[in-house]
């Protein structure tokens, strides 16, 4: 019974999250729940502060009662987000819509044991929490994103490529230090959840989401659901084999795409800071050394086109520090078109959420749990 109620509440909240404010009657029509059940559950959610009444829908016409719209109260809870990448770590406090009160970037400290670094992050979070206490007195929890394979149930980072080379009990360490519920998700899966909740997932059911920088990450949405495969290892686009007798990859295989296009691989050829990819591309071009980048982009384009052949997504969405540069994106899309003229800027797009990539995924991962 409790399960049924939880499921019904979740379908009401998801319905509003995807479509915006609506009347109880429309919620009942869309979810298939009875109007009486919707009214009852909405009253509970209003009491808890998770829903708001927005007054009367002026567009509702005809006889009968005017519709009162209800919407999710996105300020009901705030969330601390921690996004750990191989170069930098990003912290924030955001509401449930992904509106940020404060953001902070620190260098990912790989010189100390992971538990010590996590404890340092917890201290920074506590300071942020104190600074924002007036605005965000109600913190619902902490949402952490890391690259690579995660065990969501146990809250353990199993293998965060290029960050940690062993299992790390991320949630236990942070829970101890922060005294809040902590949730862990793979960084690209988290971003895909944001697309489902706030982005393209509201329009399309099938997406391929690709992150470039510092490594390559990807995520597949099929029929409006994240597709994770066995042990959550689906969509490892960075580990497509692209080279015979290639360099050994962090994953243990040889000749993976990552060994050719990751920040580490590219900076071996031309040294540059992670945030400067576009500039370095142009500089290399001026020096006649653009070949390294062009080869990398061409390999990447082949992997994308091949993946599209298998998955036939409605849209391919790009994000990540290396895709932030317009020239790089345009070159990549042009290369995809070289292989298949139909793969233009309409099918392969820079994500509208990319500006918020440092925290929006973690927010969505947490909101999904609450909803
Ligand atoms: Zn690999």
Q: Are residues 364 and 328 in the same domain?
A: no
Span from the CA of 42 to the centroid of ligand 1 (angstroms): 48
Residue 91 in domain: yes
First-to-last CA distance in the chain? 18
Span from the CA of 149 to the centroid of ligand 1 (angstroms): 13
Span from the CA of 160 to the centroid of ligand 1 (angstroms): 13
Span from the CA of 198 to the centroid of ligand 1 (angstroms): 31
Q: How far is CA 33 from each of CA 8, 16, 233, 303, rounded to the nearest angstrom? A: 8, 14, 35, 43
Check: CB of residue 203 under 8 Å from CB of residue 230.
Answer: no
Q: Are residues 363 and 305 in the same domain?
A: no
Q: Are residues 219 and 319 in the same domain?
A: yes
Alpha carbons 35 and 136: distance in angstroms, whole number: 34
Query: Of 41, 72, 103, which one is at a domain's C-terminal end?
Result: 72
Q: In the chain, how many domains are there?
A: 3
Span from the CA of 224 to the centroid of ligand 1 (angstroms): 28
Span from the CA of 237 to the centroid of ligand 1 (angstroms): 9
Q: Looking at residues 4-15, what average pLDDT do you find?
A: 86
Span from the CA of 35 to the centroid of ligand 1 (angstroms): 52
User: Strand pairing partners for 89?
Assistant: 84, 106
Query: Of 54, 72, 90, which one is at a domain's C-terminal end?
Result: 72
Alpha carbons 212 and 227: distance in angstroms, whole number: 20
Residue 267 CA, chain-centre distance (Å), reads 25
Span from the CA of 213 to the centroid of ligand 1 (angstroms): 15
Out of 134-143, 232-241, 255-264, 268-277, the most confident range is 255-264
Residue 162 in domain: yes
Residue 39 in domain: yes
Span from the CA of 282 to the centroid of ligand 1 (angstroms): 28
Span from the CA of 300 to the centroid of ligand 1 (angstroms): 14
Neighbours of ion ligand 1 (CB under 5 A): 239, 249, 251, 253, 256
Residue 276 pLDDT:
73
Span from the CA of 217 to the centroid of ligand 1 (angstroms): 11
Closest CA to 304 of 365, 235, 226: 235
Span from the CA of 234 to the centroid of ligand 1 (angstroms): 13
Alpha carbons 60 and 292: distance in angstroms, whole number: 59
Alpha carbons 297 and 261: distance in angstroms, whole number: 8
Residue 196 in domain: no
Q: Looking at residues 69-77, what average pLDDT do you find?
A: 89
Residue 229 pLDDT:
83
Burial letters 128-160, b for 16+ CB under 10 A, else e:
bbeebeeebeebbbbbbbbbbbbbeeebbbbbb
Instruction: Render pLDDT for 196-205 as a digit per residue (tens, 0 to 9).
Output: 988 999 889 9
Q: Are residues 220 and 309 in the same domain?
A: yes
Average pLDDT, the chain: 90
Q: Are residues 157 and 251 in the same domain?
A: no
Q: Are residues 342 and 224 in the same domain?
A: yes
Instruction: Report percent pLDDT > 70 for the chain.
Output: 95
For the entire predicted model, the pTM comes to 0.88
Q: Are residues 215 and 112 in the same domain?
A: no
Residue 199 in domain: no
Residue 198 in domain: no
Residue 346 pLDDT:
85
Check: CB of residue 370 under 8 Å from CB of residue 89.
Answer: no
Span from the CA of 240 to the centroid of ligand 1 (angstroms): 7
Residue 354 pLDDT:
95
Span from the CA of 192 to the centroid of ligand 1 (angstroms): 21
Q: Are residues 291 and 161 in the same domain?
A: no
Q: Are residues 48 and 181 in the same domain?
A: no
Least confident of 18-22, 120-124, 183-187: 18-22
Torsion angle defined by CA atoms of residues 169, 106, 110 and 179, in that order, rounded to the nearest 10 degrees? -20
Q: Are residues 97 and 167 in the same domain?
A: yes
Span from the CA of 254 to the centroid of ligand 1 (angstroms): 7
Span from the CA of 308 to the centroid of ligand 1 (angstroms): 20
Q: Are residues 82 and 134 in the same domain?
A: yes
Q: What is the CATH number of the domain that holds 223?
A: 3.30.420.40
Identify the domain containing residue 55 by its residue range: 2-72
Residue 197 in domain: no
Check: CB of residue 134 under 8 Å from CB of residue 167.
Answer: no
Residue 273 pLDDT:
74
Q: Are residues 262 and 307 in the same domain?
A: yes
Q: What is the CATH number of the domain that holds 61?
A: 1.10.10.10
Span from the CA of 244 to the centroid of ligand 1 (angstroms): 13
Span from the CA of 194 to the centroid of ligand 1 (angstroms): 26
Span from the CA of 216 to the centroid of ligand 1 (angstroms): 10
Query: Of 15, 47, 72, which one is at a domain's C-terminal end?
Result: 72
């Amino acid at each position: 019974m409790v399960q049924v109620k939880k499921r019904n509440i979740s379908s009401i909240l998801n319905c509003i999250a995807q479509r915006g404010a609506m009347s109880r009657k429309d919620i009942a029509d869309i979810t298939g729940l009875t109007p009486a059940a919707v009214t009852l559950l909405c009253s509970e959610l209003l009491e808890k502060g998770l829903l708001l009444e927005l007054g009367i829908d002026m567009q509702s016409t005809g006889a009968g009662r005017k519709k009162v719209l209800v919407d999710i109260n996105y300020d009901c809870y705030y969330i601390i987000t921690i996004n750990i990448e191989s170069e930098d770590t990003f912290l924030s406090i955001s509401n449930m819509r992904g509106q940020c009160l404060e953001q902070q970037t620190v260098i990912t400290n790989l010189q100390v044991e992971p538990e010590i670094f996590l404890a340092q992050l917890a201290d920074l979070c506590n300071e942020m929490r104190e600074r924002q206490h007036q605005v965000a007195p109600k913190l619902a929890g902490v949402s952490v994103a890391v690259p690579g394979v995660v065990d969501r149930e146990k809250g353990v980072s199993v293998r965060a490529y290029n960050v940690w080379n062993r299992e790390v009990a991320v949630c236990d360490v942070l829970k101890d230090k922060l005294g809040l519920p902590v949730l862990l998700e793979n960084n690209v899966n988290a971003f895909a959840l944001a697309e489902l909740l706030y982005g393209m997932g509201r329009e399309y059911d099938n997406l391929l989401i690709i992150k470039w920088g510092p490594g390559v990450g990807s995520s597949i949405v099929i029929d409006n659901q994240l597709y994770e495969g066995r042990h959550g290892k689906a969509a490892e686009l960075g580990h497509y084999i692209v080279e015979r007798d290639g360099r050994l990859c962090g994953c243990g295989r040889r000749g993976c795409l990552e060994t050719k296009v990751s920040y580490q691989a590219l900076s071996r050829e031309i040294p540059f800071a992670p945030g400067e990819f576009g500039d370095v591309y142009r500089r290399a071009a001026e020096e006649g050394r653009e070949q390294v980048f062009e080869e990398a982009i061409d390999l990447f384009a082949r992997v994308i086109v091949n993946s599209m052949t298998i998955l036939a997504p409605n849209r391919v969405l790009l994000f990540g520090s290396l895709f932030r540069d317009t020239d790089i994106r345009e070159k990549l899309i042009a290369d995809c078109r070289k292989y298949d003229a139909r793969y233009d800027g309409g099918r392969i797009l820079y994500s509208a959420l990319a500006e918020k990539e440092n925290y929006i995924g973690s927010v969505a991962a947490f909101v999904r749990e609450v909803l």
